[in-house]
Amino acid sequence: MSSDQALADFLDKAEDWAQDLAASLELLGKQPERSDVVDRVFQTTHNYKNSAILGFVRLAGLAHRMEDVLTLVRQQAIAVNQAVLDALYAGSDLIAEMVAAIGRGEGDGTVNLSGIIEELGRWAPPEQDPAGPAAPSANPPAAQAPAEAPAPAVVEAAPDPQLLGAFLEDAEDRSQKLASLLSALEPGAANREAIHETFRAAHDLKSASATAGFHLMSRLAHRMEDVFQKVRDGTLEIAEPVRDALLAGSDRIAEMVAAIGRGEAEGTVDTAAAIADLSAFAPAGPAGPGTPEAAPARPVMTEQSFGAFERAQVREAGDRGESLFRLTCEMDPAEEMRFARAYLLYTGLEDAVNIVAVDPPMDPAAVEPDAQGNVPDDRPYAHLTVWFTSSGDGSEALSAAAGTGTLKVERLEAADLLGSIPAGPSAAAEPGQRSTVERTTIRVDTRKLDTLWSLVAELVQAKARVSTISDRLGRGDDAENVRTGLSEAFDSLDKISGGMQQAMMETRMIPIRVIFEKFPRLVRDLSRKLHKAIDLETIGADTEIDRGIVEALSDPLMHLLRNAVDHGVEFPEDRVRHGKSERGRVRVSANQQGGRIVIEVSDDGRGIDVEAVRRKALAQGIPGAAGMDERELCELVFRPGFSTREIVSELSGRGVGMDVVATRVRTDLKGEVLLKSRAGAGTQVTLLLPLTLTIMRTLLVRGESHVFAVPLSGVETTTRVLNTEIRGAGERLACVWQDAEIPLFTIGGLLGRPSRRAEELSAVILRRGGSRACLVVDELLEEREIVIKPLDDLANHRRLFSGVSVREDGTLVFILDTSFVPEEGS
Amino acid sequence: MRTTILIADDLSFMRMIEKEILTERGYHVVGEAVDGLDAVEKYKRLRPDVVVMDITMPNMNGLEAMRRILQIDPGARIIMCSALGQQHLIVDAIKAGVKDFIVKPFKPDRMLAAIQKALAAPSEGAGA
């Protein structure tokens, strides 16, 4: 098996594991006492560990840490509480992220693990395993939470008696010096030099003991150093209790040195009291491991968010013949000084190339300690992105930045950045620069394959029959007999090809379960955050749908569910006050009705007050709002820009991003979305989707002597328009349909050719959401189911078509993309 | 010719451990300095290929010693040795031209990688 195959196989399996893990974690949340469930979580987690063989060491490391926690759960050393569950969930999320990144060809290095390793470490401190990822140290002087694992040290050097002797000599010297300096320090006296000396002695003890592997001593010395620092900075007075605490600390260190000298462990000396006393004067800062929250979200820079300054630099560099590159650096999770490492990289790059931008910003103030001596969080610098221009091939940057972490340099298309058409999110990467793992395999239910096999067998038979008829024809058989035979053969071929089309289509179908599985987690997290009690019901997870649709459907569905939980379902006390049960209910169902998939997301929450919508519509000056019925008012919710913050509460929040849901479903998926709601009783959103995106029901029309296909999902009706009814001139035409003026297009106009006008014209009324448009054609042909083939951009420079289909006679039918119909409000 | 290295640290234990790591990998530790002043003096005399310099030292700290050495020899390859919490000092050192830094307690690999990197970088001065 080649490594590519191994990778594809891993990605394939990882998909299964992710489902297992999500399901078993959910079960664990419900029945934490069941050891078989714990075993199942453990097993699925364990699977990821094998990925180390493929080189995904960070992924394997995270799985390993999760296993450590699960082992303790198994041993009943820790209970499965919310916090443990949260940590495991967070771990599984990051695993999924890493798998996704691997799938994109980025490897497992781009996902930040420092927070999760720390969090898992709180439950199961990592063992002294030099191969495992080291626990990231927090920023001093805030460090040293009890659960924090000692950083790996040069332990292999410590047993050397000569080295140990040297260490003990140094340590004894420093601790004696410390004690004598402390005794001499007059309370309140401003003896700066003496204070500096004591600080240095504590500092020496800290680093030497850490290097020698004596972590208790190092931690104690660290605490003392923190106190000295405050004294040195003038934020703490050397009062009697401070001096006592420091003296006690230096006594404990002297005892430890003596114990180690006798061959005993440093742990025989109890340092807890001394550390507690010292901490009273220099408490651990807020950025310590006690707050496992990651750094607050910071807007991340991308080349798309370049400002005028950056763009000007790129343009000028382009004029000089330089290319634009992006370097990303992923630091070793064990890197302690992330800012300094990033700064070193940056200064090195400055000499080698022309830097355009850097993210996060390279501001040395980012690491200046504040008045309390707390050092800011520099974790964001572990993921560094530098954009630069160079006349080389980018490798000069790699050598300048070597040794900083995992580096990647990509050449970017500056034209995409500077051109008027905004580049897609992935358009920047040049093909060949990245080795994205192509998913070339799909999994197909063997029953579906069996159906195909039997159809192929029938096809072979039908072929044999046709060849017999041909023979009979050659022998001069009766013409009537031959005709009957041919007709039978054709019938069976028709049946077989229809069956094969169906069977092939079904191989693209996957159960919608893959989306539904994400819901329990989403509802659980949201309801906990919002303090709501919500029961989620999912129905019809086995309903099968085209895999292309599933991928596009995930976000809109998640959005609808989030809306239902966040804005639909009321708080328990409000529900009780309105005579409802305390627990809200959210229901997601899927089923197939005819050739369509129907998905419903409903809640029993506060619903939408349609009169409030009407008031809002009137206030916004939307025409016809006064006379709208309930259905039309609900449709307004899908209008872009309709919902505003102040109506959010009134509307139970629907409308926030509902236009995005509608666009995705209607335009991308050729489906329909409907909303029904009753104030006080709940809301129901229904999505009607085609079974597949590869076969589409269309209306064939002729225009400009070509045949075009119009997706039926976008057709309201067909009609006739009199030439005299057309208003306007040139490219802006309109006509009246159902008492409203709607824009009018002609096929010729769309193709950029002048259109001929007959007296009476055939027309298709197109719909897009709530808006309508008229498309004038030469002739309406027929409704037809067609198989869509994608169209490359070259043939579609006007973006007029969504695809192409090949007719029986080999001619092409272009499928009109009806998004030229103006959206509401625009 | 073997690469020559000067170690500057006030702790004899640290010097010993560094020397052991470096000698094991075939580097020649030409001198050991016990403070910043000593480091500057020994640099003038020994002209080592690389200096591994602690920050916190008596008499003259590592930062000041580094600046003086770079004045004498702008091409000097200096690796700062720092403890956690001294990140702002390291940033100052980078501004002044230090080639790399390592964080105590360091792994031998880290130190060796830093030295190799410093040696690989082009030296802009005449002295190295």
Domains of chain B, with CATH numbers? Answer: 4-120 (3.40.50.2300)
Q: Which of A71-85, A225-239, A355-369, B62-76 has the highest mean pLDDT?
A: B62-76
The mean pLDDT of A295-324, rounded to a whole number, is 72
> Is residue A183 very low, low, confident or very high in pLDDT (cuts 50, 70, 90)?
confident
CA A455 centroid distance within chain = 41
Chain B residue at shortest CA distance from A343: B91
B20 touches chain A (CB under 8 A): yes
Task: Give the per-residue pLDDT at A151.
Answer: 37
**Residue A712 vs residue A361, higher pLDDT:** A712
Confidence band, pLDDT 50/70/90 cuts, at residue A590:
very high
Predicted pLDDT at B123? 53
Inspect the interface and report whether the beta carbons of A154 and B17 lie closer than 8 Å: yes
What ipTM, to 2 d.p.?
Answer: 0.79
> How far is A94 from A88, CA to CA, in rounded Å?
10
What average pLDDT score do residues A660-678 get?
A: 84
Higher pLDDT, A226 or B85: A226
What's at A751, amino acid-wise?
A: L
Share of chain A above pLDDT 90, in %: 6
Segment A657-673 mean pLDDT: 82
| pLDDT tens-digit series, residues A677-723 | 888 888 999 999 887 777 778 899 998 888 999 988 889 899 988 88
Q: What is the DSSP letter of B2?
A: P
**Alpha carbon of B77: minimum distance to chain A alpha carbons (Å):** 14
Is the predicted pLDDT of residue B125 greater than 70, yes or no?
no
Mean pLDDT of A756-760: 70
Q: What is the pLDDT of residue A775?
A: 92
Interface test with B, best of A156, A172, A196, A211 (most B CBs within 10 A): A211
**pLDDT at site A3:** 59
The Cα–Cα gap between A572 and A83 comes to 23
Q: Are strands A596-603 and A706-711 parallel, antiparallel or unpaired?
A: unpaired
> What average pLDDT does this structure show over A595-620?
85
Q: Which pLDDT value is given to residue A440?
A: 53
* A639 has a pLDDT exceeding 80: no
Q: Which of residues 64-123 of B touch A (CB under 8 A)?
A: 82-85, 87-88, 90-91, 94-95, 100-101, 103-108, 113-114, 117, 120-121
pLDDT of A550 reads: 84
Q: pLDDT for A23-49, tens place per residue?
A: 888 888 888 888 888 888 888 888 787
pLDDT of residue A611: 82
| CA A545 to each of CA A519, A596, A803: distance values in angstroms, whole numbers, following the listed order | 18, 9, 20
Percentage of residues of chain A with pLDDT beyond 70: 81
Residue A531: half-sphere exposure toward Cβ, Cα within 13 Å = 4
Q: Which residue, among B9, B13, B25, would best test binding to A if mutated, counting the most A CBs under 10 Å from its CB?
A: B13
Helix B108-120 to helix B12-24 angle, to the nearest 10 degrees? 70
A residues 268-287 lying closer than 8 A (beta carbon) to B: none
**How far is CA A255 from each of CA A248, A258, A266, B71, rounded to the nearest angstrom?**
10, 5, 9, 45
Contact A166 B82 (CB under 8 A): no
For an interface test with B, the pick among A128, A129, A154 (most B C-beta atoms closer than 10 Å) comes out as: A154
pLDDT bucket at A77, cuts 50 / 70 / 90: confident
Residue A372 has pLDDT above 80, yes or no: no
- B16 in contact with A at a CB cutoff of 8 Å? yes
* pLDDT value of residue B33: 94
Q: What is the pTM of this model?
A: 0.41
- Token code pair at residue A405: 């972490």
Instruction: Enumerate the residues of chain A whose CB falls inside 8 A of the CB of residue B83.
Output: 203, 206-207
Pick from B53, B55, B82, B84 the residue to mutate for testing the A interface (most A CBs within 10 Å): B84
- Residue A770 scores a pLDDT above 60: yes
Residue A443 exposed, middle or buried by CB count within 10 Å (0-12, 13-18, 19+): exposed
Question: Which residues in A lie closer than 8 A to residue B119 (C-beta atoms)?
Answer: none
Whether B101 and A344 lie within 8 Å, measured CB to CB: yes
Size of interface A-B (CB pairs under 8 A): 108
Query: B-chain residues within 8 Å CB-CB of A225?
Result: 85
CA distances from B112 to A49, A168, A802, B16 (A): 30, 26, 58, 15
pLDDT above 90 (res A463): no
- The residue of chain A nearest to residue B21, with distances taken between CA atoms, is A157
Closest residue, chain A, to B116 (C-alpha):
A403
Output the pLDDT for position A428.
Answer: 35
Q: What is the DSSP string of A202-251?
A: HHHHHHHHHHHT-HHHHHHHHHHHHHHHHHHHTSS---HHHHHHHHHHHH
Residue A53: phi and psi, rounded to 5, are -60, -35
Residue A170, chain B, CB below 8 Å: the answer is: yes
Average pLDDT, chain A: 77
Q: State mean pLDDT over A621-633.
A: 83
In contact, A546 and A692? CB cutoff 8 Å: yes
A140 inside 8 A of chain B by CB = yes
Say how many C-beta atoms besides its own lie within 10 A of residue A12's C-beta: 13
Residue window 8-27, chain A: list those with CB within 8 Å of chain B.
none
Residue A283 pLDDT exceeds 50: yes
Q: Do B94 and A344 touch (CB under 8 A)?
A: yes
Q: How confident is the model at residue A415 (pLDDT cuts 50, 70, 90)?
A: low
Specify the pLDDT at position B95: 84
What is the distance between the alpha carbons of residues B58 and A201, in angstroms, rounded to a whole number?
Answer: 10
- The C-alpha atoms of residue A178 and residue A194 are separated, in whole angstroms, by 10
Nearest C-alpha in B relative to A348: B99
Q: pLDDT class for A416, splitting at 50, 70, 90?
A: low
Confidence of residue B37 (pLDDT cuts 50, 70, 90): very high
Q: Are A101 and A153 in contact (CB under 8 A)?
A: no
Q: Which of A154, A206, A369 sits opposite B107 (nearest CB)?
A: A154
Instruction: Kindly tell me if the per-residue pLDDT of A248 is higher than 90.
Output: no
Is A555's Cβ below 8 Å from some Cβ in B?
no
Lowest average pLDDT, out of A261-270, A436-445, A628-637, goes to: A436-445
C-alpha distances (whole Å) from A725 to each of A7, A733, A737, A759, A760 are: 63, 10, 10, 10, 10
Is some CB atom of chain B closer than 8 A to the CB atom of A154? yes
- Is A153 within 8 Å of chain B by CB? yes
pLDDT value at residue A179:
81
CA–CA distance, A311 with A332 (Å, rounded to integer): 31
Query: B85 or B64: which carries more pLDDT confidence?
Result: B64
How far B79 CA lies from chain A's nearest CA (Å)? 12
